[in-house]
Amino acid sequence: MSEVKGILSFVDGMSAEELRDYARRVEALGYGNIWIPDLFGRDIFLTAAYVLENTSSLGVATGIAHVYTRDAIATAQAARTLAEFYPGRFVLGLGVSHPQAAEARGHAWVPPLRKLRGYLAGIAAAKIRSPAPAQAPPVFIAAHGPKLLALAAESADGANTYLMPPEHTRRAREILGPEKSLNVVLPCCLCDDPERARRTARRGLAIYLGLPAYHRQWVRWGFDEGDFAAGASDRLVDRLVAWGDAAAVRRTIAAHIEAGASAVEVVPYNPHPGSGIDWALLEALAA
């Protein structure tokens, strides 16, 4: 399982007990970490602390902590505290998300490069009056375009990408250089029925099809408005989502690793609606 390091988990809908049991089961399977997104549910750093406290070795990453939700000093305090209390187990992932999310929080949208550059500088300059952790938490930024990838190479430990084809991974590695980490977040669906697999993928992709930032990226890699204007086309689904039997899913994961990914973080798409986490997928990839 060396190429699959962790799982991106939408955990706000789980009860506390369900989240604890989920994290422990992921840990028992041998995954290194879970990534949790910053949405409109629980506080992301408190959730990370809860998972860390209820596991013994599992790492937790914010995937991503929204930079419009809290200022840079508050984020630096939270990340440093978690790194101190749980040495080597916390990763700080940051991102701007999309204008709609910033506006929902009452903030004016700032160009992403300027926003993230200033935010990273604010974290670096923060004067925190508490014991320093033995190891500073790694910092990654969500980056797809060349300018943000260059910022990751310059001012962070690496970058996270999401919903991108392997060709993008190759270009991202070229921009980051050989020393920085590149985490590819990849939706995966363990289903060898093409109709069901693509239907499942379209449900997972639906929220992203209306976001112009993704459109701009996909067009760069050979897609056009016809691929996402009226729902995801087959060719878009097939390039963004790893689906099929376990061997087919692993081949897509391997394509990203060969293109330069340091690790792949899996987003499980369950072909059986209403069934929760697809443990069959996670067990297959852990084998």
CATH number of the domain where residue 62 is located:
3.20.20.30
Instruction: Flag whether 202 is in a domain.
Output: no
* Model confidence pLDDT, tens digit, residues 77-127: 999 999 999 999 999 999 999 999 899 999 999 999 999 999 999 999 999
Q: Which domain holds residue 47?
A: 4-183+245-286
Instruction: Flag whether 197 is in a domain.
Output: no
What's the structural domain count of the chain?
A: 1
Contact 22, 9 (CB under 8 A): yes
Instruction: Give the global pTM.
Output: 0.96
Amino acid of residue 1: M
* Model confidence pLDDT, tens digit, residues 184-212: 999 999 999 999 999 999 999 999 999 99
38 closest CA partner among 108, 96, 106, 103: 96
* Model confidence pLDDT, tens digit, residues 149-197: 999 999 999 999 999 999 999 999 999 999 999 999 999 999 999 999 9
Alpha-carbon span 83 to 87, nearest angstrom: 5
Instruction: Flag whether 71 is in a domain.
Output: yes
Residue 42: phi and psi, rounded to 5, are -70, 155
Alpha-carbon span 134 to 10, nearest angstrom: 30
3-state DSSP call for residue 92? strand
Instruction: Flag whether 263 is in a domain.
Output: yes
Alpha-carbon span 282 to 287, nearest angstrom: 9
141 closest CA partner among 107, 110, 118: 118
Instruction: Flag whether 33 is in a domain.
Output: yes
User: What pLDDT score was predicted for residue 286?
Assistant: 93
C-alpha distances in Å from residue 94, one per residue of 14, 171, 236: 23, 21, 26
Contact 267, 185 (CB under 8 A): yes
